[in-house]
Copies of this chain bind each other. A is one copy, B any other.
């Protein structure tokens, strides 16, 4: 698990190297996203950030997120419909198993799949930068699943 301070350092390093500036807005947005600890939409993020900086607007949040994505500390996800979701990149190599009933998310990492991926990509003449692997299914333990579901 990555520390918030490590992300802040990565960001500051990038800012310095590119003649960009450290601002309260960027700091609050990153910290807010960290605290959320899951994927979150622009609307949710803006609302939370406004608790710290009342005047902050959509444009700043969008621009900051694009910056964070470029720096590699935030990932952008477009699930089905609606707004794009953002989340802190905790670890490059974990993937997700999601129960579509209760929404339970399990993180997994498999070396065999990782290796195989690399082989396949090379075979097709591509060098891997990142990947996303999501498995959707249903909990076999129905009772526990229903319980988690109603807890929402």
**Which A residues are closer than 8 A to B by beta carbons?**
78, 97, 99-100, 106, 108, 110, 112-113, 116-117, 120-122, 124-141
Contact = CB atoms under 8 A, between A and B. Distances in A.
B110 A97 contact: no
A133 B131 contact: yes
Q: Could you say how many copies of this chain the assembly holds?
A: 2
Q: Main SS of chain A's interface residues?
A: strand
A134 B133 CA distance: 6
Contact of A137 (B78, B97, B126, B136): B126
B129 A136 contact: yes
B133 A121 contact: no
27 contacts: A97-B121, A97-B124, A97-B126, A100-B129, A106-B126, A108-B120, A110-B120, A116-B116, A117-B135, A120-B135, A125-B140, A126-B140, A127-B138, A127-B140, A128-B136, A129-B136, A129-B138, A130-B136, A130-B137, A131-B133, A131-B134, A131-B136, A132-B132, A132-B133, A132-B134, A133-B133, A133-B134
